[in-house]
Amino acid sequence: MDPAKTTPKDWQELAQITQGHRVLVERVRMADRDIAIEGSFELPQLARLSMDDQIFITAFVRSHGSIKEMERIFGVSYPTIKSRLTRIANSLEFVETNPTPSKSEILERLQRGEISAEDAIREMEALQ
């Protein structure tokens, strides 16, 4: 499957072949450049969703999160939309964007003068 020529049908076929099993990608090539990266990469969470769920999430984003619009598009009720969103959300792992700093990170920030001793003590106490 040439990534530069991948179609939604290719992704559907891939999803059918893998049947929800974990997929590791070993080579990635930029379509418009002669650059390839080799290693072991997992597909992003959204790419691991079924094609139906990907279409549903795409429609949700395109409708700016409007459940009323989703009801109209899919011809189903509010509880059905909410239930599906909940099911999909529960299958996705939340990525922490502001992780709690470690003790060593707090001390490094204190040493660099980025925080006061009082702030460092407060942050250290919050870790416990």
pLDDT digit string, tens, across residues 98-115: 778 889 999 999 999 999
| Residue ranges making up the domain that contains 112 | 99-128
State the total domains in the chain: 3
Mean pLDDT of 20-35: 82
For 89, the enclosing helix (H) or strand (E) is helix 78-91
Q: Give the helix ranges, DSSP H, for the chain.
A: 8-18, 45-48, 51-62, 67-74, 78-91, 103-111, 117-127
What's residue 3's pLDDT? 47
**Do 54 and 86 lie in a common domain?**
yes
**Do 89 and 54 lie in a common domain?**
yes
**Do 2 and 26 lie in a common domain?**
yes
**Do 4 and 39 lie in a common domain?**
yes
In the predicted structure, residue 1 carries a pLDDT above the cut 60: no
The string of pLDDT tens digits covering residues 67-95 is 999 999 999 999 999 999 999 999 888 77
